[in-house]
Chains A and B, each alone.
Chain A
């Protein structure tokens, strides 16, 4: 069923919300597995904006899916299903992040990077991006404040539109743009410093 389904916010032949929701409500495992495989990567990345470790992000994503399983009967379709799921994720991740910041000294989380990404995962583009640059960007993103990190994750890493990002994060369009611009500028600065050191490009 997942064959030909386009990732990164593509609309091509991913089933429309009513089909997905009906499948979830009737217990269609294939539909649930499809969602799990399509959305969990982006959800892990977004969760990582708020919590301190990859393991913690995985728990946030797990808790989110469990909440979705429990609550899909109450989904009213006022937003897209994806926005609804992502909003649950953001709430779950924020709560956990706040708890962590009260219990974990900041100095003990700063060194945890990168997130153990296996080489080549994420398709040919991911494999083609030079390892050094990849690590650098990963590090630059890791230093961003969570609100900036959440916006750049959704817009530039996951390719979501500005409107959906505003809805997921409950922020205004102007605020969304400011956060995105600061985040991008910071990543650009890191890259420029790296290329200046190497003499190009």
Chain B
């Protein structure tokens, strides 16, 4: 396995989707190649950073508009 092949398989490795023949080759390459070990570390850091991004919510106006719409729809339904 060369470095390009290694880089292509990182997501498959992380999803535990490598087949039985590729997995040991992937791990062997990482154990022997400092460049790919570094690449792997950057790749997983990027994933952690993505998970830590803040997410803005709905504006209070939209939220209250939707709550009103829900209330009105419920009151229109036949019992």
Contact = CB atoms under 8 A, between A and B. Distances in A.
A29 B55 contact: no
B57 A184 contact: no
A154 B77 CA distance: 34
Contacts of B70: 27, 29, 32, 69
Interface in B50-66: 50-59, 62-63, 65-66
Determine chain B's interface SS by DSSP, over half rule: helix
A160 to B, nearest CB: 11
A118 B56 contact: yes
B15 A122 contact: no
A180 B11 CA distance: 8
Interface residues of B, number: 36
Contacts of A69: 66, 69-70, 73
Interface in A122-148: 122-123, 125-129, 133-134, 137-138, 141
A172 interface: no
A58 B67 contact: no
Nearest to A190: B46
B17 interface: yes
B56 A29 contact: no
A62 B66 contact: yes
Contacts, number: 127
B8 interface: yes
A49 to B, nearest CB: 13
B45 interface: yes
Contacts of B77: 27
Interface residues of A, number: 54
B32 interface: no
Nearest to B51: A156
Rank and list the top 5 A-B pairs by shortest CB-CB distance, nearest first: A122-B54, A27-B74, A126-B54, A181-B11, A156-B50
Interface of B: 7-8, 10-12, 15, 17, 39, 42-43, 45-47, 49-59, 62-63, 65-67, 69-71, 73-75, 77
23 contacts: A26-B74, A27-B73, A27-B77, A32-B70, A36-B67, A40-B57, A41-B57, A44-B58, A58-B58, A58-B62, A62-B58, A70-B73, A116-B56, A118-B56, A121-B55, A122-B56, A134-B53, A137-B49, A162-B15, A177-B12, A177-B15, A185-B7, A195-B42
Interface of A: 8, 26-27, 29, 32-33, 36-37, 40-42, 44-45, 54, 58, 61-62, 65-66, 69-70, 115-118, 120-123, 125-129, 133-134, 137-138, 141, 152, 156-157, 159, 162, 177, 180-181, 184-185, 187-188, 191-192, 195
